[in-house]
């Protein structure tokens, strides 16, 4: 088999773990990382990943066979579509599929259509309507910016007042710019949180492992949510649930996207809450988690 030259996009701990795994492959020719980070002992290149033609040009000049995209922003922005259009193989979903991460309302609609269990939810663009809906029900909700917000666009509220404040901040004060022009109000799920990671070629899906990250900024699980500051894998007590996880959360997304003519190729990251009514979907991400990749990827024994 001829050697494969790889360009890896991204620069976090996640991409460090990915680069390390890729570098161990017997099939690897050259590996480039754009932009990488100062801790990496790999060949780093400076590319503007928003400029897709620049990325494609680099691939052509270095005879890149495979582009691997780590973070969500270039996925949602369609970098994979541009690379595939140039005839270069890519690991990562297209922009259509990446809406599963880029739009929480897209995901909830998709989940409803494909019978993937989740919380009750409602989308709003008008704060007055959202607030009177909350006052009518008189319960706290989870308030979410519809679009990408670097893992910070969710407020899990304990009171009705907190819910109203979060609605006002997102819809009236533009806390997350374009991303919070639409918000979701979701029923608060209670239980243990588990992240599942799978990889798919568009037809089949293989589950890698589960992980659980630690999100709150302060000790004792207090303070605002961060993107995750450490994690464990696998999540204790979840081995017996693996088949249920695959059947309820990984297969339906791969089959659903294939049916719609937009196959899911890449990493599937499902955030799940283990509730008294069974596991329910919190969210899909279309990439490895960070820090989760750092504990999941080193456990994978093959390419
Ligand atoms: P997300 O950005 O969707 O991952 O949300 C960040 C965090 O908020 C999740 O990891 C959960 O801890 C929490 N969260 C999100 N949605 C819900 C929900 N419907 N019920 C309870 N907690 C939630
Ligand atoms: N650690 C959570 C995430 O990568 O989204």
Residue 288 pLDDT: 97
pLDDT at 151 over 80: no
Residue 215 pLDDT: 82
Residue 198 pLDDT: 97
Ligand 2 centroid distance, CA of 121 (Å): 22
* CA neighbours closer than 13 Å in the CB half-sphere of residue 87: 3
Residue 8 pLDDT: 98
- Alpha-carbon distance of 292 to 227, in angstroms, equals 11
- Alpha-carbon distance of 267 to 207, in angstroms, equals 10
Lowest mean pLDDT, pick from 142-156, 215-229, 264-278: 215-229
Q: Is the C-beta atom of 188 inside 6 A of ligand 1?
A: yes
- Alpha-carbon distance of 226 to 228, in angstroms, equals 5
Pocket of ligand 2 (CB under 6 A): 151, 213, 227-228, 285, 289-290, 292
What tens digit of pLDDT does each residue of 177-193 get? 889 899 999 999 999 99
pLDDT at 1 over 80: no
Which helix (H) or strand (E) segment holds residue 135: the answer is: helix 127-137
Residue 148 pLDDT: 87
| Nearest atom (ligand 2) to Cα of 151 | 5
Q: Is the C-beta atom of 274 inside 6 A of ligand 1?
A: no
Collapsed DSSP state (helix, strand, coil) of residue 13: helix
- Name the nearest CA neighbour of 170 among 104, 113, 231, 234: 104
Ligand 2 centroid distance, CA of 26 (Å): 29
Collapsed DSSP state (helix, strand, coil) of residue 133: helix
pTM listed for this prediction: 0.92
Residue 175 pLDDT: 86
Compute the average pLDDT of residues 6-32: 97
Residue 245 pLDDT: 97
Compute the average pLDDT of residues 195-221: 93
Residue 216 pLDDT: 83
Q: Is the C-beta atom of 279 inside 6 A of ligand 1?
A: no
How would residue 79 be classed by pLDDT, with cut points 50, 70 and 90? very high
Compute the average pLDDT of residues 39-60: 97
Residue 237 pLDDT: 92
What tens digit of pLDDT does each residue of 214-262 get? 888 888 888 877 778 889 999 999 999 999 999 999 999 999 999 999 9
Q: Which is it for strands 89-91 and 66-69: parallel, antiparallel or unpaired? A: parallel
Residue 131 pLDDT: 95
Mean pLDDT of the chain: 95
Residue 243 pLDDT: 96
pLDDT at 162 over 90: yes
The answer to whether 90 and 75 have CB atoms below 8 angstroms apart is no
| Nearest atom (ligand 2) to Cα of 285 | 5
What tens digit of pLDDT does each residue of 88-141 get? 999 999 999 999 999 999 999 999 999 999 999 999 999 999 999 999 999 999
Residue 238 pLDDT: 94
Residue 229 pLDDT: 85
pLDDT at 149 over 90: no
């Amino acid at each position: 088999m001829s050697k494969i030259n790889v360009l890896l996009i991204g620069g976090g701990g996640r991409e460090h773990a990915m680069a390390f795994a890729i570098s161990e492959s017997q099939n690897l020719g050259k590996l480039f990382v754009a932009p990488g980070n100062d801790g990496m002992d790999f060949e780093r290149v400076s590319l503007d990943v928003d400029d897709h033609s620049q990325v494609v040009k680099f691939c052509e000049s270095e005879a890149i066979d495979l582009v691997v995209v780590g973070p969500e922003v270039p996925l949602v922005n369609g970098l994979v579509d541009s690379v595939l259009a140039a005839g270069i193989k890519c690991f990562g979903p297209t922009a259509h599929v990446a809406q599963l991460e880029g739009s929480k309302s897209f995901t909830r609609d998709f989940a409803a259509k494909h019978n993937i269990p989740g919380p009750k939810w409602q989308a709003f663009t008008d704060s007055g309507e959202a607030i009177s809906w909350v006052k009518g029900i008189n319960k706290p909700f989870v308030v979410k910016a519809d679009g990408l917000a670097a893992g910070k666009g969710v407020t899990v509220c304990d009171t009705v007042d907190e819910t109203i404040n979060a609605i006002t901040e997102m819809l009236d004060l533009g806390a997350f710019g374009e991303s919070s022009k639409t918000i979701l109000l979701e029923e608060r799920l209670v239980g243990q949180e588990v992240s599942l990671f799978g990889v798919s070629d568009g037809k089949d899906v293989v589950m890698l492992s589960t992980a659980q990250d630690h999100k709150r900024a302060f000790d004792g699980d207090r303070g605002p949510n961060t993107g995750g500051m450490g994690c464990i894998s696998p999540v204790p007590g979840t081995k017996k649930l693996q088949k249920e996880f695959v059947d309820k959360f990984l297969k339906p997304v791969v089959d659903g996207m294939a049916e719609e003519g937009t196959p899911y190729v890449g990493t599937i990251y499902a955030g799940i809450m283990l509730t008294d009514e069974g596991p329910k979907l919190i969210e899909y991400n279309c990439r490895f988690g960070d820090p989760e990749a750092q504990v999941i990827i080193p456990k994978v024994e093959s390419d």
